[in-house]
Structure 1
Amino acid sequence: MRRLPPLSAVRVFEAAARHGNFTRAAEELGMTQAAVSYQIKLLEERLGAPLFRRDKRKVVLTEAGARAAPQITRAFDAIDSAFANVRAEDEGLLVISTSNTFANAWLAWRLGSFQMAHPEMAVRLETSDALVNLEGGEVDCAIRAGRGDWPGLAPDLLLPIDFTPMVSPAFLDRHGPLQPADLLRLPLISPHDPWWTVWLREAGVDVPDGPLRPGVRLDSQAHEGHAAIAAQGVAMLTPFFWRNDLAEGRLVRPFEQISTRGYAYWFVAPVGRRNQPKIKRFREWLLAEIGRERPVPVLESYSARQA
């Protein structure tokens, strides 16, 4: 039999510990500050130990409180995740988060085939370059750019991120043939991007410190590529995303050199929910779809890491 203190008081303690402030905890829980103080007092009396030290206008966790708080927060996260799983399954809704670049340059063009293969499931794609919290259950899975080392998430490698300058044929006709050093004087699309400095220095160009030059700043590679197609300048792009435009002559690669910073796109889901049926179906579809276009090394997958 569990000897649990009142869960209402534990909930108040978790919020107060997380905020470090009774007033903000009260606002989150829809209570008065006096009610929060009362619940904390009840819990301390039940445990026979103080959990907070009152210090003028602020409260500070005691040693006992500091030991308990992280475990209680994890327990509430687990409870929230458990019920989020039930809600999501009952609704038959798969929510996917990814960056603007990956959505616009690849996923949005293909996601309909997954939806058609699973008509019983609603699919919502959320695009943002900010990292979303996958533990709360509001988003089921994500496609992220990085090194695949996010705590609590199971990653599967999708696509290494590399990059090289690209231009339209019309732009090249006006300014070519080009040498790497010529890029320092030509209009660049998103010149603030650190990829420019990496590529130029690997090409042997002496690049001064600081911004390369003023230029148009766009918020995703998808927009940058379309600006390059419109002959607005030189864009630093990932060849995989633009291979059709290269093959059909809308874009040209002036140089053979391709650089990388060691990042990749990864499919990620919380470890405990990775094999939830709807997430598993989408992961398998995604790996197969992108594998037909660019094979993924098996040893980089989460499954191989756990073997």
Structure 2
Amino acid sequence: MAVRPPSLRSIAAFEAAARHASFTRAAEELNLTPGAISHAIRGLEDRLGQQLFLRTGRAVRLTPAGQTLAARVRLSLGLLTDAFATVPWRAADRLVVSTTHSIAQKILAPILGQVQECCAGARLDLRCSDSLSDFDDGIDVAIRFGPGGWRGLESRLLGREVLFPVASPDYGTSLPTKQAELSDHLMIHHPESGWRLWLDPSEPDPTQSGNAIYVDSALIVIEAAASGIGIGLARGRLAAPDLASGRLVRILERATPAEYAYWAVWNGSSPKLRLISAFVAGVAKTYKSEFPSTGG
């Protein structure tokens, strides 16, 4: 005799609570009360004879049994999403890739043709945004510069990053030869690649001079330095094309590891896992010197 599946409402409650690691946020998403979420999940636990969440005050986290069930539910929901796609036979051969403007321009654009060859003829749809990807809004895979460990998503470490000072070869003022001399120059700051990471604490801090400009784009750091207005702390992988062409030169040869790294990120229940895997492997293989295959 066939076993009747749980209600879709209880499955939705479990999936949302697992994704958010919060009954309250799951309730807000589904327009229910936290009590209704808790009741639905308690019903699933009674049905399975397994505890699905560990509850500590207001915080919740999946048990091993909960993790297994969450993976299966996400896979099933992915199949349902694919079944209700408007034009699944057309969408299945298109891979929507989200990344930042800086990664797209300096890293991906030069290798897109080679990467597409690794994707067995799939059409690549590259979308640039400096905000986090919404995988419920048509994005299949994202390449980001960040800390990793995004909850509820699969990820692969593509490559680490280093930071070092750069300037225009036509910089009008004598270039500094030691850290303390940076105080005589306009220093270009970026929040994700701050000078504090590179500066040697045993030497005078040049940032105290206040001779600085702040930008929120890693591309602008490079462009501002290349224009000759000051000295930027650049991400090595982004600066590589401009160093090779001579638009930029390195100064004060010391480099330091960045806090963040490059990651490929995707929804593990996506119906396009085959294409995603081919794309990620293609990026790692084609740009091996920049994206070493150090999986994560």
Corresponding letter in the other structure for 2:107: W
Please state if 1:233 is matched with 2:234: no
Q: Quick one: structure 1 residues 276 and 73, their matched pair in 2 at CA, closer, same or farther if it must change by over 3 Å?
A: closer
More relative contact order, 1 or 2 (CA 8 Å, 6+ apart): 2
1:140 corresponding residue in structure 2: 140
Distance in 2, Cα, partners of 1:269 & 1:4 = 28
Q: CA deviation at 1:164?
A: 0.5
Q: CA deviation at 1:221?
A: 1.4
The higher radius of gyration belongs to 1
Distance in 1, Cα, partners of 2:285 & 2:3 = 46
Corresponding letter in the other structure for 1:163: L
Identity %: 22
TM-score (norm 1): 0.67
Please state if 1:242 is matched with 2:242: no
Corresponding letter in the other structure for 1:141: V
Question: Which structure 2 segments of 5+ residues have no match?
Answer: 48-57, 59-65
Q: Quick one: structure 1 residues 89 and 186, their matched pair in 2 at CA, closer, same or farther if it must change by over 3 Å?
A: farther
Distance in 1, Cα, partners of 2:14 & 2:138 = 21
Q: CA deviation at 1:217?
A: 2.7
CA deviation string 1:227-283 (max 9, x = no partner): 111112111112332233223321111111001145321223345659822112212
1:182 corresponding residue in structure 2: 181
Q: Give the conservation status (yes or no) of the 8 Å contact 2:115–2:286.
A: no
User: How big is the alpha-carbon RMSD for the aligned residues of Structure 1 and Structure 2?
Assistant: 4.4
Q: Give the conservation status (yes or no) of the 8 Å contact 2:146–2:260.
A: yes
TM-score (norm 2): 0.69
Q: Give the conservation status (yes or no) of the 8 Å contact 1:146–1:263.
A: yes
Q: Quick one: structure 1 residues 98 and 192, their matched pair in 2 at CA, closer, same or farther if it must change by over 3 Å?
A: closer
SS at match of 1:286: helix
2:105 corresponding residue in structure 1: 104
Q: Quick one: structure 1 residues 219 and 108, their matched pair in 2 at CA, closer, same or farther if it must change by over 3 Å?
A: farther
SS at match of 2:263: strand
Q: Give the conservation status (yes or no) of the 8 Å contact 1:188–1:234.
A: yes
Distance in 2, Cα, partners of 1:277 & 1:257 = 41
2:53 corresponding residue in structure 1: none
Q: Give the conservation status (yes or no) of the 8 Å contact 1:15–1:25.
A: no
Question: Which structure 1 segments of 5+ residues have no match?
Answer: 49-60, 62-68, 303-307
2:63 corresponding residue in structure 1: none
Q: Give the conservation status (yes or no) of the 8 Å contact 2:226–2:247.
A: yes
Q: Quick one: structure 1 residues 20 and 248, their matched pair in 2 at CA, closer, same or farther if it must change by over 3 Å?
A: closer
SS at match of 1:138: coil
Distance in 2, Cα, partners of 1:155 & 1:272 = 15
Distance in 2, Cα, partners of 1:9 & 1:168 = 60
Q: CA deviation at 1:176?
A: 2.5
Larger relative helix fraction:
1
How many correspondences in the alignment? Answer: 268
Distance in 1, Cα, partners of 2:234 & 2:26 = 49
Distance in 1, Cα, partners of 2:162 & 2:13 = 47
**Greater alpha carbon shift after TM alignment, 267-276 vs 212-221:** 267-276
